[in-house]
Amino acid sequence: MVEVAPGVQVWAEEIPGPGEPLLLVMGANASGLTWPDELLARLARHHRVIRYDHRDTGRSTHAFDERPYALRDLADDAVAVLDAFDVDRAHVAGMSLGGTLVQLLLVEHPDRLLSAAVFCSAALEGTEGLPGPDPALLRLWGELTDERTREQELTWRVEHWRLLNGRVAPFDAAAFRALEERIMEHSGRTDSPAAHAAADTDGLDRAAELREVSVPTLVIEAPEDPVNPPPHAAHLAATIAGSRLMTVEGLGHALAPSLLEPLANALLGHTCGDVR
């Protein structure tokens, strides 16, 4: 457990491996357990991998109503996790809101980064003219804080993953249900985390600073992403100075089992040039 603010702790875990540290930053309202074990094992062949639960997810402190925070604070939490593991500099990879936080790290803490990878995310600036989330997702998000039994909550979460998965990669409902059962056991809660939707979003327009980034950055396009669909990734890559854009075909806004290998290859090709 890592103290990130007075009375606030986040759960973090290291998966030992050779090579340089790699910090994984998950999306909004999602536990670090959302990173699949198969992906962690693949990355840990080459890196010391660290994942963690954001505030108000998993085993971390759930106290937003008593201790509200800004989304920018979650980026500082990532730095606190690196400090707790005595990591001076790390590769970082962020998905969705995690990609937003990685962008904040690029402009606020570049000295702590060896490289950065961002996917399923939008640029830290106005995104006028770019497509928004699928209306079916928006309707489902309207139910986020509804009261549900454990079984109803599992059904809701699996349906959420089905929409996030997109229409190309096979959707393994049993695998995502098992994942959510593990997350419930891990967190000791069955309600849907929702605090990040209420967090302060001030200070997130950082496009000018992103254009000055010198940290090697990979932007991965998820062509089936229903939250930040194309051309969000291309726009992000054009915003971050010197970044490289590549596509993982079939990838949506979920880590589908069938796409873990090409995603790992993309990340490892960026961090160490080795995809074996």
pLDDT tens digits, one per residue of 124-169 = 987 789 999 999 999 999 999 999 999 999 999 999 999 999 999 9
For residues 257 and 39, what is the distance between their CA atoms, to the nearest angstrom? 9
DSSP classification of residue 34: G
Residues contacting residue 90 through CB under 8 Å, at least 6 positions apart = 20, 21, 22, 23, 50, 82, 112, 113, 114
Catalytic residue among 53, 56, 77, 225: 225
Alpha helices in the chain (DSSP H): 37-43, 71-84, 97-108, 135-141, 150-165, 173-187, 207-210, 232-239, 260-271
The active-site residue, picked from 96, 115, 121, 243, is 96
Mark whether 243 is an active-site residue: no
Which tens digits make up the pLDDT trace of 15-44?
999 999 999 999 999 999 999 999 999 999
Does residue 213 sit in helix, strand or coil? Answer: coil
C-alpha span between 186 and 269 (Å, rounded): 32
Query: Stretch 2-23: mean pLDDT, rounded?
Result: 97
The answer to whether 68 and 200 are in contact (CB under 8 A) is: yes
Q: Which of 46, 91, 196, 253 is catalytic?
A: 253
Catalytic-residue membership of 225 = yes
Q: What residues have CB less than 8 Å from 88, skipping those under 6 apart?
A: 82, 112
The per-residue pLDDT for range 100-127, each reduced to its tens digit, is 999 999 999 999 999 999 999 999 987 7
Q: Are 78 and 99 in contact (CB under 8 A)?
A: no
Q: What local confidence, expressed as pLDDT, does residue 276 receive?
A: 61
- pLDDT over threshold 80, residue 173: yes
Catalytic residue list contains 111: no
Architecture of domain 2-132+195-271: 3-Layer(aba) Sandwich (3.40)
End-to-end alpha-carbon separation of the chain, Å? 33
Cα–Cα distances (Å) from 262 to 93, 122, 172, 198, 266, in that order, read 15, 21, 17, 34, 6
How much of the chain exceeds pLDDT 90, in percent? 96
- Domain range summary for the chain, segments of one domain joined by +: 2-132+195-271
pLDDT in tens, 260-276: 999 999 999 999 986 66
Q: What is the pLDDT of residues 213-238, one digit of tens each?
A: 999 999 999 999 999 999 999 999 99
Closest C-alpha among 121, 133, 109, 93 to residue 239 = 121
* For residues 44-54, average pLDDT: 98
